[in-house]
Chain A
Amino acid sequence: MSQNLVELSVNGSIQVMWAWESDTLLHVLREVLGLTGTKNGCEAGHCGACTVWIDGIPRLACLTPVGSVVNSEITTVEGLGSWWQERHPSSHYHPIQRAFVESGAVQCGFCTPGMLMAAAALLRDVKFLTDQDILERLAGHLCRCTGYEQIVQAIRQAALTEVTEQ
């Protein structure tokens, strides 16, 4: 086995690197590209901390071989703000980031990047959110600090902002 030249599109820019096909996307993002916003909580698909978007869909980077995403667009927490700004030029930050800050949804912050990526996709996909939607889409994201309530509040708040801003 040998390393391959891999071309990835991450947060809107093209990155070229040598990698093993079996390297996980999590490893490549954190160790090769230095995008450490995406967290490693278990390396086993159990905690949700490593969630990124692959072509807009939230996926666990720790279970994704980098070879499988060479033709995809990857978005991490570092790119969430610019993703939003492309669509809403008035702000550098996604409303969910602001809502997490304002709702007290961040404590230690280790689950936060994964939560944000899941929540932002949810807000994008579902126009009129119910609490049931939130519970379903965040079920795979463990948080040990908050007891989740303020996270749910943040998502509700962001849903309102998004609606009013459009």
Chain B
Amino acid sequence: MTVKAPDLIPMSLGTNVKHRIDAWAKVTGQALYADDIRWPNMAYGVLVASPYPHARIVKIDLEPARTRPGVLAAIAGPGSVAPYGIMPSTQDEQAMATEKVIYLGEPVAAIAATTLDAAREAAHHILCEYEMLKPVLRPGVEQARPLIDPVHPERPQKDLFKEVDLEFGDTAEGFVHAFKTAEDTFFYQGSAHVAMEPHSALGYWTPEGRVELVTATQTPHYVQRELAVALGIDTYRIRVRTSVVGGGFGGKSELFPHEIATVLLSRACGRPVKITLSREEVFYAHRGRHPVSMKVKTAWDNNGKIQAMDFQSVLDGGAYASYGLATTYYTGALQTVSYAIPRYHFHAERWYTNKPPCGPKRGHGTTQPRALLEVHFDRVARELGIDPIELRRRNLTPPYSVTVNQLEVGSSGLQTCLDKVESLSNWHARHVRHEPDRGLGFACSTYLSGAGLPIYWNSLPHSGVRMAVNRDGSVQVFCGLTDIGQGAETMLVVLVAKALGINADRIRVHTADTATTPVDLGSYSSRVSMMAGNAVLEAAQRMHQILKDSVCAHKGVEPSQVTQDGEVFHVQGDEAVPFTQAVLWAEEDIGPLTTFGSYTPPKVLGHYKGAGVGPSPAYSFTACVADVKVDRGDGRIRVHHLWVAHDLGTPLHRPSVEGQIRGGVVMGLGEVLMERQVFNPDGRHRGPHLLGYLIPSIQDIPPITVAVVGEPDPKGPMGAKEVGQGPLNPVIPAVINAISDAVGIDLNETPVTPDNVLRALDQQSRRQRL
């Protein structure tokens, strides 16, 4: 038999990385997601969940389940030795509820068996008795109706989770002298991440008393840290590794009950245990977009320049804290980064309710206020008789400036983004088209390239990289970052290949393992390219120096006589030295080659309480124009085209950048037109499955024109800024503004359903008749 070598498909040409480094593993079925992994003697776990949104637990009897065939362990009780939570100051979760359940789907017990079927079957035999309480389904409802049991009666502030009040400059004065004032209210509906991969984790309590956890998470280092709190054991005993992750979008950014349960079940039965959530359970685990009610008031001078803003938001947080503290601040933090607002007052409240906990979803807390802000600016433009894009232009926050709330803005391509979508969409011709019920709408937005402060305040680096060059000429990069599908690992290879001037196929990356990779805080707040990118560049530069030093030493020349070109060191007046030779010389000189790099963001400027939320090393900017047609008959919105310009500094990997922009834009389109995580009056989710909760399918996608703009940012690695989250934000208000342009209705809530449109059209015609 003759053996044919597989056809060679280069992933990269020289230092140029053409394709994602994980793509082949994913198209051949080789990539291992958590649920694909099976450890020897592994057991299967399931969670038993509360069928009620709010109830006292009277009794949980595990005994009948314990004797079912195949059952290895059944557990109930808090599970954790101490309450845990992602934000150190608001730790309020336990793995399983003990006295009370506070959302439908909250785990109360867990069971492990030899097969999944056996575990599922036995779970039905756990006897749970509850005493139902009235569910709290709206923020602050207990204030109006004091007889309702609060979600968290033990707290002095009851269900008011957090109240924030910040003022920068004298807002009242801005309103007194205004040429014009305006006011709008808006309700932004909650939504879910719906990563295609349901959460899954494998836990093992080893005979030596160590903990191994392999899980689909965006934040392995935080999971390790929270797990240490929850289990009450030393952090160093716990190793958390991230499997290949099938999408995150914020939904896998903290420790979840199923992750703890795998470890506890494993301790109870002595075997590794895997728990994979069902799609329904994912809707209950949630941590998705907060529903937010908002109100904005603005003051303007006669040139259409904003003088003051008052912004209020009320967040419906669901049952637990999650990232809610940060979310609350984020609903007020970035307004000033797009627009130069000289006086700003911000008030926010987040309330607990008997619903699955809300948390961070792509755009974390900035998506909701952005929708209102951009809709409001359009209405102000209309009243002032100024073109909507022109109104924005007059108010842009200048690059390299400091905002009134002490945020340091660096490079900004927002102006270019505006210009770009304005010309691409042929904006100024829109009113001569005369197609009835069709209109264009504009919006812009801004996002962080990583949060300026870590979740646990300390002065340690936010990202670390260890780099080794082996004798075989390979470059091994170790970094705690997590590729959740966005292409973070490819980004590392791109930067290392460029920085070392070597062929990209020499480079291998090892990521997301608390035992072998230096801490990177995780894939959240669009921080990875900025922070891990800068860290890996530092490690590469140090490696380059080592190699060059050895070339100089072995050739007996000065550094100025050596230049590098690709994989060759040119030595003045001597033979060139290949990269691989330089590696051998360097190892001869100093031993195995290892360097380190790390990144810590610049110091935060502001000193007020809450100043930690908002600062970032660099901000990305986006502008969007939507072209829509409204069907007056059935209220349906058809989006004909979207133009999106995004300023991300230097694009590091074009296909990934384009993919992130398109993916974010389409997720935004889903949020504005179809998605909602909503509940019946009895607290049940209206449709915890993919027919009840619709996300965009391939048939829902209009043509989308993507423009990548901007200049290299001085703080970004090779000038790069974020692209993972920002492009979602302007889509929602752009579509709403386009609807207003098309048929003259002002919509004040999301999603824009045909019902809402018909109601607004109806009100409009009644007003016209009056």
Contacts and interface: CB of A to CB of B under 8 A. Distances in A.
Interface of A: 30-31, 34-44, 46-47, 49, 76-78, 81, 89-93, 97-98, 100-104, 106-113, 116, 134-135, 138-152
A145 B4 CA distance: 36
Counting chain A CB atoms within 10 Å of each CB, the highest count among B116, B247, B486, B667 belongs to B247
B704 A147 contact: yes
A142 to B, nearest CB: 6
Given A31-B116, A147-B701, A150-B655, A46 B195 contact: no
A112 to B, nearest CB: 5
A49 B196 contact: yes
Contacts of B667: 144, 147
A41 B9 contact: no
B115 to A, nearest CB: 8
A86 B31 CA distance: 24
A149 B662 contact: yes
Closest 5 CB pairs of A and B: A37-B29, A108-B485, A104-B655, A110-B246, A109-B26
B697 A142 contact: yes
B681 interface: no
Interface string B703-741: 010000000000000000000000000000000000000
Contact of A147 (B31, B663, B690): B663
Contacts of B32: 36
A21 to B, nearest CB: 13
A104 B25 CA distance: 14
A30 B667 CA distance: 30
A142 B696 CA distance: 8
B432 interface: no
Contact of B38 (A34, A40, A49): A34
Contacts of B698: 134-135, 138-139, 141, 143, 148, 151-152
Contacts, number: 177
Interface stretch (B16-24, B206-214, B310-318, B330-338): B16-24
13 contacts: A34-B38, A36-B33, A39-B33, A39-B196, A39-B197, A44-B279, A104-B19, A108-B247, A108-B485, A110-B195, A138-B698, A147-B665, A150-B659
B655 A144 contact: no
B666 interface: yes
Contact of B28 (A34, A81, A147): A81
A104 B29 contact: no
A38 B701 CA distance: 26
Chain B binding site: helix, strand, loop or mixed by DSSP? loop
Contacts of B4: 89
A101 B21 CA distance: 9
A108 B29 contact: no
A89 B664 CA distance: 40
A139 B29 contact: no
B167 to A, nearest CB: 39
B28 A43 contact: no
Interface residues of B, number: 60
Interface string B551-570: 00000000000000000000
Nearest to A138: B698
A36 B116 contact: no
Given A36-B36, A145-B663, 5 more contacts: A30-B35, A36-B35, A81-B28, A104-B20, A109-B244
B26 A106 contact: yes
Interface string B660-692: 001111110000000000000000000001110
B30 A37 contact: yes
A110 B33 contact: yes
A111 B116 CA distance: 23
A102 B9 CA distance: 10
A107 B30 CA distance: 15
A148 B701 contact: yes
B659 A104 contact: yes
A148 B276 CA distance: 27
B144 interface: no
B188 interface: no
A144 B269 CA distance: 37
A30 B279 CA distance: 17
